[in-house]
Amino acid sequence: MLDQIKNNISNSISSKYNEILLDLEKIFEKIKKELISKKKENLDNLKVWEIENQHLIHGFAWIATYIESLRQINKWALKLAKNKNISEFEHLILDIAFIEYVSQILNGIPMSQTEFIKVNDYECIIPNDLYTLNKNLTENFSINEIAKLKERLVKIAVKKETTTTLENTQLDLEFEQIREQFQKFNAINVNNDSNQWHLKDELIPQNLIDELSKLGVFGLTIPEKYGGLGLNKLAMCVVSEELARGYIGVGSLATRTEIASELIINDGTKAQKDLWLPKIANGETIPAACFTEPDCGSDLGSIKTKAKKDADNYFLSGNKTWITHASRANLFIILARTNPDISQKNKGLSIFLVPKTPETKKEFFPDKNISGTEIKVLGYRGMKEFELRFENLEVECLGLLGEVENNGFSQLMKTFESARIQTAARSIGVAQNALDLALSYSLNRKQFGRSIINFQRVYNKIAMMIVEIAMGRQLTYFAAKNKDLGHRCDLEAGMAKLLCAKIAWSSADNSLQIHGGNGYALEYEISRILCDARVLNIFEGSAEIQAQVIANRIMGKIPN
């Protein structure tokens, strides 16, 4: 069997993968047609229908995401083969990816630990629809020898001497050089201290932020004329991935600057761009995004923070919650309601750029119109989370983004694509860290006279980490490339965020299981990574919100 795999490597990638994808797309289209038909039938009670059928609607999004991830890993392998860069390792990744993900589509995709979706959960799917897919899978893939494929994959992984990624990512040299630069940064500045920052619940040291600033992290995608590096979203992904591989808090420092700078680049006035972008790019200004409220969560259209205009100023009052890096920040990006009378709630919102005083040794929030309480959390601790209260917080009219009222919701929506792509990249970094630790621990830990990596239940877990990280990485890069081309990519970004957050959690959970009791000890890094990984399925749009967005986009707007 393995000899046959090696022989295939010297040839072009077999059409068997394309045949599987065609089979899946036929099934996908049939399910899509069923859901659209039922949506049309229930237009008068659409919200009720969506709530009552959430499992099937969200399951459809998961099926679509799995198919897209297989499409992208196949394209990755085809490009490697065309360039004669594919090795047995990459070929094994491809085969295992298809066997595992197609099997899950047929038998149950885990949307959570207790919720599973399979294609024959839909009324339109009959046994005949699955016959060709099953036949192609069983005849063309070594399903019964999947354990041997995984064992071989892990053995090659152990022999690989690399400081970057295990698989060939198929990125241009400049991106791999960026990756290596930030791996070296982690080795010097992050890896030895990150667990202590977590255990002591400390802010990431200011000197580390200064070093990141020197490397241009905060101005990564800001145009050069404003002091940034002018790089693209793909570069942002590589940097975010590698920094999060060291510590999610470090990898997330640039998320707030990315959101703030993109808002200002897209919709700011010339004066706002000239004032804020250079300061954000050089690390002088640290923004915090103040969007979420205690009773709203993902429903940003329902926020209650009010902005009342009086002469040349606005006065903001209201509560915000889960505000990351709020105490250290010196610029708040606040979403507030400027028109409470508009029937469509999301049409009455505006965004404000509000300077603030950073924390002191005595107070988190020295400004008299801002108060806040720290929210203690399991992980993701390096920047701290806060609940905030604004009481008639005065903001000059020049602080209104674009100096135009009631555009805040649409302004914010434009940034969600980038934020979700970046979160997918952070998820892959966390997953890669979990894999690094699993490989190291299982090689060194001996039980019953052998390294535990030689036990099937251990190498099976590690193999799936390798495969899913490669798949998530390609899906994330696919979304980033689309963004760089200027395409609408809320669908691609949503899929990347949905899948990669799941991969981060499963990789962290499996790595901790491999560590056994030691993994549950605070002194072992994997205990921190498990806590860090869990939040990725929640922020920047929970898995449930992501699935709804994906399904809505694919089904489109149904005309009356």
CB 242 within 8 A of CB 179: yes
CA angle 260, 264, 268 (to 5 degrees): 150
| CA-to-CA separations, 539 to 140, 421, 472, 497, in angstroms, rounded | 40, 13, 18, 10
Mark whether 540 is an active-site residue. yes
On whether the CB atoms of residues 512 and 402 are closer than 8 A, the answer is: no
Nearest Cα to Cα of residue 513 among 449, 556, 459, 554: 459
Please tell me the distance from the alpha carbon of residue 124 to that of residue 210, in angstroms, as a whole number: 58
Distance separating the N- and C-terminal Cα atoms of the chain:
56
Alpha carbon distance 266, 263 (integer Å)? 5
Helix ranges, 445-542 (H): 456-484, 490-515, 525-534
Cα Rg of the chain (Å, integer): 24
- The residue written with tokens 């680049």 in the block is 265
Q: Is 318 left (phi over 0), alpha (psi -120 to 50) or beta?
A: left
Q: Does residue 438 sit in helix, strand or coil?
A: helix
Catalytic residue among 385, 396, 540, 544: 540
In angstroms, the Cα distances linking 302 to 191, 294, 295, 299, 467 are 41, 11, 9, 6, 40
d(CA 488, CA 31): 24
One-letter identity of residue 77: A
Helices (H), ranges, 83-121: 88-107
Distance CA 279, CA 517 (A): 47
Q: How many residues does the chain have?
A: 560
Inter-residue contact 325 to 365 (CB < 8 Å)? no
Q: Which residues contact 409 (CB under 8 A, 6 or more apart)?
A: 300, 301, 335, 346, 347, 349
Three-state helix/strand/coil letters over 163-207 = CCCCCCCCCCHHHHHHHHHHHHHHHHHCCCCHHHHHHCCCCCCHH
Tokens 């995709």 belong to 109
**Do 73 and 474 touch, CB atoms closer than 8 A?**
yes
Q: Tell me the β-bridge partners of 178.
A: none
Query: How many angstroms separate the CA atoms of 410 and 511, rounded?
Result: 40
Distance CA 388, CA 398 (A): 23
Active site residues: 540
